[in-house]
């Protein structure tokens, strides 16, 4: 069942998408509060809440007695939006979906054991899902967890929604994550689920998530169709960058 957006989320999604499409370019003003109230048949409260959301994402100026100006076309994201596909979709104004292919408990091979910082053959829980964007195939998701984390998924309906939110609700401590982004050719499973030819270039995002005490709690491999997602990072000279570029060789 889809999630109905609250009015302030609907307004924020409309403006975010319009800014992304450059209907409002950097330096240009947004519609006034009264214009947005009229467009969405809204009171000022939801409009102001939507504008506050866009300010927190770095998309617009603070206003303060003057027309609000567009600052950038790419929003910053919350941690939830970075690590959760479902939350990323909702923040972007899209409807997430999923079709689970398998949920298995199995022994970790050497590569997965190394990624999760556990002993080889230790039990892990692996989830393999096709992710949808407004009902259309967009990404193939391979998630792996040590058993003490993954056990929460063995009785969870992984077609019902966000695994990330379910783990958080189950008390799992997800504190920080790293992402490695590259390109990979679609394998047979990717090709079948994404309805493309084998070898089609896909955007691959490999993620490792950690608890606040440094324990590795997830190793994932997400493969996006071209044109589904892009990654933007703003850096400032003289300040450390969260981006590292390393040789793939």
H-assigned helices in 93-220: 110-116, 147-150, 163-169, 188-194
Q: Which two tokens stand for residue 28?
A: 């240009």
Taking each continuous run of H as one helix and of E as one strand, the counts in the chain are 9, 6
Of the candidates 190, 198, 142, 152, the one whose C-alpha atom is nearest the C-alpha of residue 174 is 152
Identify the structural domains of the chain with CATH numbers, from first to last: 1-76 (1.10.10.10), 79-224 (3.40.1410.10)
pLDDT at residue 229, rounded to an integer: 75
pLDDT reported for residue 3: 47
DSSP 175: -
- Per-residue pLDDT 10s for the chain (249 aa) are 344 568 998 999 889 888 878 898 888 899 989 999 999 999 999 999 999 888 877 788 876 566 888 887 665 555 544 567 777 777 777 788 999 999 999 999 999 999 999 999 999 999 999 999 889 999 999 999 999 999 999 999 999 988 988 999 999 998 888 888 899 999 999 999 999 999 999 999 999 999 999 999 999 999 999 888 767 665 556 666 666 656 565
Smallest CA-to-CA distance from 228 within 92, 63, 24 is with 92
Q: Which long-range contacts (CB under 8 A, 24 or more apart) does 54-59 make?
A: 54/12, 54/15, 54/16, 54/19, 57/16, 59/15, 59/16, 59/19
Whether 112 and 219 have beta carbons less than 8 Å apart is answered as yes
Return the pLDDT at 65: 60
């Amino acid at each position: 069942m889809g999630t109905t957006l609250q009015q302030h989320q609907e307004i924020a999604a409309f403006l975010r998408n319009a800014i992304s499409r450059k209907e409002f370019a950097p330096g240009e003003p947004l519609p006034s509060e009264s214009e947005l109230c009229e467009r969405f048949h809204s009171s000022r409260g939801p409009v102001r809440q939507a504008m506050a959301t866009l300010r927190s994402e770095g998309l617009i100026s603070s206003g303060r007695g003057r027309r609000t100006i567009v600052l950038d076309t790419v929003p910053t994201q919350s941690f939830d939006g970075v690590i959760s596909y479902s939350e990323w979709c909702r923040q972007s104004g899209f409807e997430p979906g999923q079709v689970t292919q398998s949920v298995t408990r199995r022994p970790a091979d050497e590569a997965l054991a190394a990624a999760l910082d556990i002993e080889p053959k230790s039990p892990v829980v692996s989830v393999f899902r096709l992710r949808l964007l407004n009902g259309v195939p967009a990404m193939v998701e391979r998630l792996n967890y040590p058993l003490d984390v993954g056990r929460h998924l063995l009785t969870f309906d992984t077609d019902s929604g966000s695994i990330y939110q379910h783990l958080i609700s189950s008390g799992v401590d997800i504190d920080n994550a790293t992402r490695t982004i590259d390109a990979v050719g679609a394998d047979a499973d990717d090709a079948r689920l994404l309805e493309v030819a084998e070898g089609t270039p896909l955007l691959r995002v490999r993620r490792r998530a950690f608890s606040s005490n440094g324990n590795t709690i997830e190793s994932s491999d997400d493969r996006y169709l071209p044109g589904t997602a892009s990654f933007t990072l703003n850096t400032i000279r003289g300040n450390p960058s969260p981006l590292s570029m390393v040789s793939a060789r």
